[in-house]
Structures are given as C-alpha cells and as structure tokens.
Amino acid sequence: MALTGIQIYKLLPQTNCKECGFPTCLAFAMKLAAKQVELSACPYVTPEAKTQLAESAAPPIRLVTLKSDGYEVKAGNEVVLFRHDKTFYNKPGLFIRLFDNQPIDAIKEVVTEASTYAVNYVGMDLTVDGFVVASTAGDPNAFTTAVQAVRAASKRPVILMTRDANVARAGLKALQGETPLIYGADATNWEAFADLAKEAKTSLGVVAGSLAEMADLTEKIKTKGVEDLVIDPGGRDLGSGLALGTTIRRLAIKKNFRALGFPMITFPGDVGDPGLEALHAAQAITKYAGFIVMDHFSPASIYPLLVLRQNIYTDPQKPIQVQPGIYEINAPKPESPVLVTTNFSITYFSVANEVEGSGLPAWLLVTDAEGMSVLTAWAAGKFDAERIAKAVKGFNVADKVSRKRIVLPGHVAVLSGELEGELPDWEIRVGPREAVDLPAFMKQAL
C-alpha cells in the first residue's frame, strides 16, 4: 500500500531546506505521495528512508515479463479487485501445453497452428501468447528435444514445466538469450531452482499446497535474489480456484502482503474435458490469473476466450471502439443506402447486427465519435453535421454509390438541415431512433 504524505514526511529530514524546490518538507512529501516528484530531489534523505519509500512504491503484485525473440508477455502490476474500480491492466497470458512424450511432429503441428493463429476482433488481431513444455518422465534429453521442437515451430515465449532442476537446465539450453518461466520450485527442490533462475535470469514458478507454505517458499527464494516469481497455489476445481485467486489478490491489494504479491498461474487443462476447460479458463480470466495454461488448442474455444480476455481487460472508462470507415453489409450495390452511425462498439454492433439480420444490403458509415453512442456523442459535440460530412468525404463514399442517399439516426434528426448544407448534392433521410427498427424502415421507406 502506498504511504500517505504524512507517513512520507516522517521519513524526510524535516529541515525545510528548500533544496528540493519546495518550501517545506511536508509540501515535498505531499508531492511524493501524489507521485509528482522523484525522491532523488531531496539531497539529505537517509538510506533507510530510501529503502522504505522504495518498498512502498513497489506495485502490490510484481510485474513478471516473459521474453523471447520478438515477443513479450507481461503479468502482474494490477491495482484493483474489480475492473469497475479502475481497470485491469495486463491481460493474462494464454499458453498451450505440450508434453515431451508427444511425437515431435505432433508437437510441431500444434505449435505451428497455434503460433500463427490470429483472429480479428473489432479491428484487432488476437493471438495466443506462448507454449508450455511439460516433462513427463524427468528425462533431460526428451525434454530438450521437445523444447527445440517448439522453438523450431514458434518464436513465442515458453514456460518450462518440470520439478527437476537438471531437466529445466537442459531445456533452458534451447532458449538461449530468452527470459522464459521455469516451473517450478516446491518445498523440496526450491534451492536448486532458485539457483538456476538466478543464474539463467529467468522467472520462477513456485508450487505449494497452501498459502502459508507458499508465503514461506517465496520469502526463502527471495533471499536467494530471485524476485520474478509466479505462484501456483493449487486449487484445480472452480470453487477453490476462485477462493484462492480472490484471497491472493485481496492480500496483495488490500494488505500489501508481499509474500504472495505475484501473478498466479492456472491450469484449466487439468480438468480434461475441453468444454469445461474453456469454462475454467473463463474464470481464470475474470478472476485473477496471470498465466493460463490450456491443454487443447481449438479455434472454437480459443477465439471466445481471447474475446473474453479483451472484453474484461478494457478500460471501463474508455469504451471499445471500432475503426471508423465505410463497412459493407450484405454485399451492397451502388444504389444501396448509406446508413450513418458512431464508432462506439455497442452502437456499431447493434446497427450492424440488425441490418445484417434483415438481409438488406447497405453501406454503413462509421464516424469517429470518440467511442461514444449516438446521443452521447451528439450531446458532447462529437457527432455533428461537420464530422459526418468529413467522414463521407474522407472515406470517399460518393465514389461507391450511384444514388447519394444518407440515413441519419433518428435521435439526431435535428442535424439534417445542417447536413444538407454540408452535403448539398446528397439526399438526407432521417431513420428510426432504435437500431431494432432499421429493417422495417429500410423495407418501407428506402
């Protein structure tokens, strides 16, 4: 938890020397609390105070980054329990697990398919983040071969899964120059794993059967100088997974409990049934996982999971926007009407879905209204005749149609006069207020 201005003031020299540029130490402390100045502006602060202040400034959940050539996956650094309180920042990494007893060709096939997989959602390409290689028999050679196979098929970050530090060490050789995650350390092997993580500069997964045991382990590992930890507190069923995830997040955010202030790794794949695996992964997305390990790669479940992750991790204060532009619905022809709306995703989807469902062809002109719905944007001056005319011209709508006919949302009927002024050679029509009435309007009035 961040210190208040008063708490910081108590750590300062309290001499009011003004060398920091502020009239008093208290004023400087207030600025520090608001993170508007750096502590280094004070020449007289003691080393002890520095340590304490640095600790309080550290994020409650450590940011852990896995890196490979050209890719990066970040987890942690979250500051709230509920997205409506601020936002969730680092989307949990979605990883696909391979086992080193699978045929090499099978591994390569899955990894190639998953690694090149990209699905477009509201103008963004969503992808899988990386791969887990799991040792099945503790054989360093088999493990290394599997890691090499993954690396040959994809450059995305890798998690090495074995409880034997020697096996992990062998796998690491295939990942030179990268920052993978090795998983993992437990109560019996932690020293060897901590040494290896320190030496290879990797992140380290920690496995424990209870939160108390986990807290002990992370503290011990930290004394070895390894701090980029990822924790697996167990809990493979949905009920205990939720309880553990919630408790760990609460301890970090509300109590600043450092021993558990790390991203959590979950294993929905352990449930076996692919349909339930997707549900376990969905819970992991909403309730606090940092890394999610799946055993099945199937576009039919990965696509909805990637979309869910995108949805939950949007900033609640900033609506999802679609790319402004001219969208074709039901293969429009030059004589089809031009419907206009804003680029707020829900507005766009409502309009596009209704028109699509009607089977009637139309051009849908999506204007840049800074992600606001029709009425809100109009009230905020982000959806007016000038902006609509600019979109009509900017997206060369006139070149696509033979009949220059544009339909305004009914809520902004008031704009039609002005728009006639902006677009003198266009026929301006006023459509219905609600998207649901569009099909009837298009059938009867256009």
User: Footprint of other proteins on this chain (CB under 8 A)?
Assistant: 82-84, 117-121, 210-212, 215-216, 219, 235, 237-240, 242-244, 246-247, 250-251, 254-255, 257, 259-260, 275-276, 278-279, 282-283, 286-287, 298-305, 307-308, 311-312, 314, 316, 320, 345-346, 349, 353, 356-357
- If the CB atoms of residues 167 and 214 are measured against other proteins, the closer one turns out to be 214
Distance CA 388, CA 417 (A): 13
Residue 409, Cα to own-chain centre: how many angstroms?
33
Q: Report, in Å, the least distance between residue 288 CB and other proteins.
A: 11
Between 27 and 124, CB nearer to other proteins: 124
Among residues 21, 22, 18, 12, the alpha carbon closest in space to that of 44 is found at 12
Tell which phi-psi region holds residue 114, choosing left (phi > 0), alpha (psi between -120 and 50) or beta.
alpha
Structure tokens at 107: 């591994």
Given the structure tokens 């290896």, which residue do they identify? 196
In the complex, least distance from residue 186 CB atom to other proteins, rounded to whole angstroms: 16
Report H helices in 256-320.
Answer: 274-286, 299-312
What is the per-residue DSSP string for 135-202?
Answer: -SS--HHHHHHHHHHHHHH--S-EEEE-S-HHHHHHHHGGGTT-B-EEEEE-TTTHHHHHHHHHHHT-
Closest CA to 286 of 304, 313, 265, 260: 313
Asked if residue 416 lies in contact with residue 428, where contact means CB atoms within 8 angstroms, the answer is yes
Cβ distance to other proteins smaller for residue 24 or 311 = 311
Nearer to other proteins, 171 or 235 (CB): 235
Measured from the CB atom, the residue of 152 and 279 that comes closer to other proteins is 279
Report in angstroms how near the CB of residue 94 gets to other proteins at its nearest. 14
Return d(Cα 146, Cα 108) in angstroms, integer. 9
Q: Which is nearer to other proteins, 169 or 296 (CB)?
A: 296
Closest CA to 415 of 399, 391, 395: 391
Q: Which is nearer to other proteins, 33 or 211 (CB)?
A: 211
Q: Please report, for residues 15, 173, 240, 265, 269, the alpha-carbon distance to residue 276 in angstroms, rounded to integers and kept in the order given.
A: 63, 35, 16, 18, 9
CB of 174 to other proteins, least distance (A): 29
Taking the complex as a whole, the smallest distance from the CB of residue 321 to other proteins amounts, in Å, to 13
CA–CA separation, 320 and 243 (whole Å): 30
| DSSP state, residue 334 | T
Least Å from the CB of residue 427 to other proteins: 30
Task: Provide the minimum distance between the beta carbon of 214 and other proteins in the complex, in angstroms, as a whole number.
Answer: 8
Biggest CA–CA distance in the chain, Å, is 80
Name the residue nearer to other proteins (CB basis): 154 or 202. Answer: 154
Question: Least CB distance from residue 88 to other proteins, whole Å?
Answer: 10
CB of 148 vs other proteins, minimal distance in Å:
28
Q: Which residues contact 10 (CB under 8 A, 6 or more apart)?
A: none
* Of 12 and 214, CB closest to other proteins: 214
CB of 290 to other proteins, least distance (A): 17
How far is it, in rounded angstroms, from Cα 387 to Cα 277? Answer: 46
Our CB check for other proteins shows the closer of 260 and 406 to be 260
